[in-house]
Chains A and B, each alone.
Chain A
Amino acid sequence: MKSNALADRPLEFDVDAVRRHFPVLARMVRGRPLAYLDNGASAQRPVAVIDAVDDYERHHHANIHRGVHTLSQEATALYEAARDRLTKFINARSRHEVIFVRGTTEAVNLVAQSYARPRLVPGDEILITHLEHHANIVPWQMVCEQTGATLVVAPIDSRGEVHEDAVTALMGPRTRLFACAHVSNALGTVLPVRRLIAAAKARGITTLIDGAQAVPHMHVDVQELGCDFYAFSGHKMFGPTGVGVLYGREQLLESMPPWQGGGDMILAVTFAKTTYNGLPYKFEAGTPNISGVVGLGAAVDFLLGLDRDAAERHETALLDHATAVLSKIPELRVVGTAADKASLVSFVVAGVHPHDLGTILDEDGIAIRTGHHCAMPVMDYFKLPATARASFAFYNTFEEIDRLAAGVERARKLFA
């Protein structure tokens, strides 16, 4: 927290200093300095994360829990210390509520199979929105097939916004679960999750928030949000791939059967009966991604070491700048113009297919994503096969965005 005296003064965010933490940002691509504008797909790692993983691999690796030898105890301490950091980071009530998983996708599948599947009966409904990532659609379709429940989809509007009343209108007596993104990966829309969660709660509907795109951009407090489940991935918040977190309210997690069986999730096994371990281990069968968790803990420390308010303001300035310079380009249309947006711009250029644009920009060292962004229903809504998406992190610069705009102009000329 800043003191009021400081808050009155515009804080300058020192991008150059932040960039020095990220070695890859200094590399050249095709003879040009890399402009990494694909953070929505995966963010880069700071030295702190790289070093934490390296140190773990070099000095401390062993299997965690149960080992009586030094390395096992060190590895266990590092792994569990990371859980404590994550617990604080999202302000969970207890470390029992922080389950390490492979990523957001696994977290949603865990809830679908372990929470929803045993509870749903034919006629029950799961409510999602039209702008979800496939990871927040398909697991629910699967559980609907398994239980006879119905998937209900709340609409978006032409700006890519989700309106509270359009969602609540679909919350009926049979709605058992409401799942939505905190931030849309394809459009950047920030959803009014606090109000949506409150509306669901008032109707006794369980809530899951896909926070994969939110956690890198904003402070997330799960108690303040009031959701039952919150899922996010390590690699989008400057940590390693293959690790993520499922936050769940302890009472709900306690009521759920394990998701996978195996080692670590048990207290005692005989062929007659197995006694499951308590939280959070009940949901962490098998040897986990220990180095990934250690790296994720380091990513949390890195983020907490930043002035996140200033970082957020810088990202907003990047978004405003990108929207302004791209909108000046003739034949370019920004897709997703919600009033509240995270720092990404999805767009199409008449006469230039996004894939050609991606290749042409890469020639200039500029990395963007092109395609359907694992959100085909969003593309269908806008009647587009694909978009180009530039997604920013706090380490991006205005100059990189100007290079993006110049590259788009070059592509336009090539295909004119």
Chain B
Amino acid sequence: MELIDLYRDVILDHNRRPRNFGALEPADASVEGFNPMCGDRLTVRLKMDHDKISDIRFEGQGCAISTASASLMTEAVKGRTRAEALELFDRVHELLTDDAAPPADELGKLAALSGVREYPARVKCASLCWHTLASALRSSNPQVLPPVTTE
């Protein structure tokens, strides 16, 4: 395993220029995610059009893996339905934790996160945004959700 597999160009690019970064007002859902181990903090905000994620933005502070993962996530789920986004969450989770899992085709650019699984201490960095999103999507009343933590 080489460092270059963890910090692929896609990751470095999304860390440098995170997509869909900033506030989203008004939002239909806003959930805060917190990784107490490293202090990473982010807020994911969603606009829903019926069952579809019509817009999504995030803000906060975190490492390159966490920032890039959130940036890639927002690109990947925008325009998808709740069920599709949750399905994608499961695929990403497999990608980050299951050595045997070949990157599924539908992952697209998200496959760049596969290097993370060789660094167990960093898996939480990549998954924080996804847990935060899933929490927002699974709740019937996401406006009042408690923050998500990785611990």
Q: Which residues of A contact B (CB under 8 A)?
A: 353-356, 359-360, 363, 370-372, 376, 379, 385-386, 414-415
Q: Which residues 18-38 of B sit at the A interface, judged by CB distance below 8 A?
A: 37-38
**Segment at the A interface, from B60-68, B77-85, B135-143:** B60-68
Interface residues of B (CB under 8 A from A): 3, 6-7, 12, 15-16, 37-41, 61-65, 119, 121-122, 125
Q: B39 to A385, Cβ gap below 8 A?
A: yes
Selected contact of B64 from candidates A370, A385, A415, CB within 8 Å: A415
30 A-B pairs, CB-CB below 8 angstroms?
A353-B62, A353-B63, A353-B64, A354-B38, A354-B63, A355-B38, A355-B40, A355-B63, A355-B65, A355-B122, A355-B125, A356-B7, A356-B64, A356-B65, A359-B6, A359-B119, A359-B121, A360-B3, A360-B7, A363-B3, A371-B37, A371-B38, A372-B38, A372-B39, A376-B39, A385-B41, A385-B62, A386-B38, A414-B7, A415-B12
Are A359 and B15 in contact (CB-based, < 8 A)? no
Shortest Cβ distance from residue B49 to the other chain A in the assembled complex, whole angstroms: 34
Q: A353-B63, A414-B7 are in contact. Are A359 and B39 (CB under 8 A)?
A: no
A-side contacts of B7, CB under 8 Å: 356, 360, 414
Of all chain B residues, the one with the shortest Cβ separation from A353 is: B63
9 more A-B contacts (CB under 8 A) besides A372-B39, A414-B7? Answer: A353-B64, A355-B40, A355-B125, A359-B121, A360-B3, A370-B38, A415-B12, A415-B15, A415-B16
In the assembly, what is the distance between CA of A386 and CA of B63, in Å? 10
Contacts of B65 in A (CB 8 A): 355-356
| A356 touching B63, Cβ below 8 Å | yes
Which A residues touch B62, using CB under 8 A? 353, 385
Please measure, in the bound complex, the distance between the C-alpha atom of A162 and the C-alpha atom of B121, giving whole angstroms.
Answer: 34
Tell whether, in the assembled complex, residue A371 and residue B39 are in contact, meaning their CB atoms are under 8 Å apart.
yes
Min CB distance, A375 to chain B, in Å?
Answer: 11
A280 to B: closest C-beta gap in Å: 36
* Nearest opposing residue in chain A for B67, CB measure: A353
Q: Are A359 and B122 in contact (CB under 8 A)?
A: yes
Q: Which residues of chain B have C-beta atoms less than 8 A from A370's C-beta?
A: 38
Give every chain A residue within 8 A of B37 (Cβ-Cβ).
371
Q: Which residue of B lies closest to A387 (CB)?
A: B39
For B40, list chain A residues within 8 Å (CB). Answer: 355, 385
Chain B nearest Cβ from A390, distance in angstroms: 17
Q: How far is the CA of A386 from the CA of B62 in the complex (A)?
A: 10
Q: How far is the CA of A371 from the CA of B6 in the complex (A)?
A: 20
**B residues within 8 A CB of A355?**
38, 40, 63, 65, 122, 125
A363 nearest in chain B by CB position: B3
Give the chain B neighbours of A360 by CB distance below 8 A.
3, 7
A327 to B25, CA, bound (A): 42
Q: Which of chain B's residues have a CB closer than 8 A to the CB of A363? A: 3
Residues on the B chain within 8 Å of A356, using CB: 7, 63-65
Closest 7 CB pairs of A and B: A353-B63, A385-B39, A355-B63, A356-B64, A386-B39, A363-B3, A356-B63
Q: Which residues of B contact A353 (CB under 8 A)?
A: 62-64
Alpha-carbon distance A370/B37, docked complex (angstroms): 10
In angstroms, how far is the closest chain A Cβ from the Cβ of B83? Answer: 33
